[in-house]
Amino acid sequence: MTLYADSLKALTVSDLAAMKQAGEKISCLTAYDASFSALLDKAGIDIILIGDSLGMVIQGHNSTLPVTIDDMAYHSRSVAGARKRAFLITDLPFASYATPEQALANAARLMQAGAAQMVKLEGAKTEVIQFLVEQGIPVCGHLGLLPQSVNRLGGYKVQGRDEPQARQIVADAEQIEQAGASLLVLECVPAALAAEISRRLSIPVIGIGAGIDCDGQVLVLYDMLNISTGKRPRFSKDFMAEAGSIEEAVRNYHQAVKSAQFPGPEHSY
């Protein structure tokens, strides 16, 4: 049973926490414009992420690094105006949260000009997270593969395969929760590690390439519709292959997440 599927009331942080406590999976997709925002909202998607992935799928860059805070605020506002129910999370882009003060200025911009309900940032930036939360800004953490750190990581690789790295990710996840984050995204980590972190944390854990046992799942919209310019990641699935329309594909994804049928072993590490 879904708790909030038929409600047109905008979801809140408290609703997402209640979904975890009830064992209801949380569905999430990226969107960058009003048309897709309205379609995802109609299909019942719980969270819309305005991701800095727009740098690759919208702007044509080979990474997320060129994306600016102006870009994020513009696309966030475009998405916000067309949705009624879905919870909105907007990425803080590369080099926009080096200090707590810089993070606050940019997060405030995303919430005021971009109408975001929560901001997402990469890495165990606990000082920044705590500062933002103290100012009343909800925060989503992001661990595992960090696209903004692709140059430091040496490419898009699975993280946490060896024991020391896995233990560090667990420790970072716990510290992010303690700093006050309300949500955590885990990207490209072994399924067993993601399952452990999801059990340990009281906040919802949203996986992307992190196995079936996370509290929810997120994909880049263009990947699951198989219209990205680059190669579709292994952890994604082409939901258009068996659908007659984009809306049907999105609904199929939503139901596959809710019923714990996606991701399968072939989409996990």
Tell me the catalytic residues.
187
Indicate the burial class of 190 (C-beta count within 10 angstroms; 0-12, 13-18, 19 or more): buried
Distance from C-alpha of 170 to C-alpha of 150, rounded to nearest angstrom:
20
Distance from C-alpha of 80 to C-alpha of 194, rounded to nearest angstrom:
30
Sign of CA dihedral 73, 78, 79, 80: positive
Which are the contacts of 70, defined by CB distance < 8 A and separation ≥ 6?
Answer: none
What is the biggest distance separating any 2 CA atoms in the chain, rounded to whole angstroms? 48
Helical segments of 135-212, H only: 150-153, 163-178, 191-200
**Under a CB-based contact definition with an 8 Å cutoff, are residues 208 and 18 in contact?**
no
